[in-house]
Structure 1
């Protein structure tokens, strides 16, 4: 499919942090209420009121983030779709697992399996960003029976990088000795991204806040697994409809990653966002809503 160029405007909406066990009003003035759910006693998520006959969208955030990254997207979709905003293991309000092996891609897939089972979801569309794209890719490749469509926003696609893999391994060595000191917030929580209005790719305040909350241990474990994953092989197994959205000013994963992903998945539709950086989920709310809604609503 041809690459589409799209413009968008920046939106900023007020959010507030969520306490465990509470339902929260988030998003625009219509204020869709989101309910807290704990899956397998370990994995946290937010959901709206499910209604029969609606499509289900499962949102998967990026590395060191949480489901609060999607807060400004909720109200745009809540009247049409059943929504699940997942906190990946080790992130947000989910449990901080200690070991490197706890963050194998297969374990993330098991968590998503539990979401499907506990919420009685038969099939869904995955909407993923950055590191979350790798989680969505793994699940779509291994459980095609449950996935109708997949949205990859600012993805990294490519063969394992040995140099970066070694560097991440070297950086993770101290974790074995001081892991408890690097385990993140003692009370799992979600950051409020309105506290970080400078939505640049490498905003030091936002990055430090994310990593301090998630924990350097989890952060490094996830990076190592991400660098080990053979994205090309996994992507070749994804046969469902795919939407790629990528900013052409992304300095974390340059736009070339999206072009490469489209070569591996020639059936994918690619939307190029001019002058957009890596955190388009925070800066291009309307654009993503329109593209995702159009994609999900289109007949296969």
Structure 2
């Protein structure tokens, strides 16, 4: 645990003496725990740091929605990098964490040697899309506050985005469910209000200016994010897109071995 910008930030470090650093950012309802299986498949020559984003895991869940804005996440991450003496890294982000990773990399490209985006997007392209998404996320936030985390998780784990996870082994499904159940209702609701896809700026127009290597991963069963990645690849100057067979949105949960293997292959190319 460390204190950054007045918030207690929880993080985990694996192989702290290694020279090359990988930083992992989880998705909505996630935490550092989501990366444990991936970390087991990655070589000990890498220092792996996973962070609980604001409102998630053991990190603080402030009542002020302003603390959850994308700008605030980016600056919090910058100060975390400074505090932990992370001068450059491979930055890995999944879904919501991928949006944070991309926003950070665009603002502070010198801090990022390589950007890995798993099932992520640069935001929404139009004002109409953003308005609709803000309205939907606000309703979802109110639902969490009214009905509680367990009722929300019962709904969330059954949305079409996570359909492929129903075929996971029972112990893995329980781990994912427990991680979601252990979240703060304030943290989840304010994450939707403060850094939902509709609230953040659109970075589509910034992609063509990002000159660092980008690796995108999408699951074969996640058609929506495959299409987003195809469109993003056309904009990024240096980019590879991997479609992982027989998995959906959360590749690192559904097949951590292949997810870790792809990351290692790109690290070893350096």
- TM-score with structure 1 length normalisation? 0.72
Give 1 or 2: higher helix fraction. Answer: 2
Q: What is aligned with 1:44? A: 10
Structure 1 CA distance, aligned partners of 2:83 and 2:109? 19
Q: Structure 1's 49 and 275: CA in aligned 2 closer, same or farther, altered over 3 A? A: closer
Aligned match for 1:237, one of 197, 209, 214: 209
2:104 is matched with: 139
- The verdict on how the C-alpha distance between 1:100 and 1:282 changes in structure 2, with shifts beyond 3 A counting, is same
Q: Tell me what 1:155 maps to.
A: 120
Q: Distance in 2 between matches of 1:226 and 1:173?
A: 10
How big is the shift at 1:131?
Answer: 1.1
CA distance in structure 2 between the aligned counterparts of 1:245 and 1:174, rounded to whole angstroms: 30
How many pairs align? 248
Runs of 5+ consecutive residues of structure 1 not aligned to the other structure: 1-36, 186-198
Q: Quote how far apart the aligned CAs of 1:148 are.
A: 0.6
Rounded to whole Å, the distance in 2 between the matches of 1:146 and 1:89 is 20
Aligned to 2:155: none
Indicate the larger mover: 282-291 or 163-172: 163-172
Residues 202 and 282 of structure 1, relative CA distance in 2, 3 Å threshold:
closer
Indicate which of 238, 242, 250 corresponds to 2:222: 250
Q: Which of 176, 180, 183 is the aligned partner of 1:210?
A: 180
- CA change 1:225–1:140 in 2 (3 A) is same
Please tell me whether the aligned partners of residues 137 and 235 of structure 1 are also in contact (alpha carbons under 8 angstroms).
no
Q: Decide which of 106, 109, 127 is 2:74's aligned counterpart.
A: 109
Displacement of 1:181 after TM fit?
6.2
Deviates more, 1:128-137 or 1:222-231: 222-231
SS at match of 1:83: strand
Matched, 1:291 2:262: yes
Compute the TM-score of the two structures, normalised by the length of structure 2.
0.79
Do the aligned partners of residues 172 and 152 (structure 1) sit closer, same or farther apart at CA in structure 2, a change above 3 Å counting? closer
Cα distance in 2 between the residues matched to 1:255 and 1:178: 29
Residues 144-201 of structure 1: per-residue CA shift (max 9 Å, x gap): 111111101111245434444333433565799999768969xxxxxxxxxxxxx635
Residues 120 and 103 (structure 1), Cα distance of their counterparts in 2 relative to 1, 3 Å cut: same
Q: Which runs of 4+ in 1 moved over 4 A?
A: 171-185, 201-209
Question: Do 2:22 and 2:49's aligned partners in 1 also have CA atoms closer than 8 Å?
Answer: yes
What's 2:236 paired with?
265
Cα distance in 2 between the residues matched to 1:213 and 1:296: 32
Whether the aligned pair in 1 keeps the contact of 2:94 and 2:119 (CA below 8 Å) is yes
Where 1:115 maps in the other structure, the secondary structure is helix
Three-state SS of the structure 2 residue aligned to 1:145 is helix
CA–CA distance in structure 2, aligned partners of residues 211 and 233 of structure 1: 37
- 1 CA distance for matches of 2:130 and 2:33? 29
Q: Distance in 2 between matches of 1:278 and 1:47?
A: 25
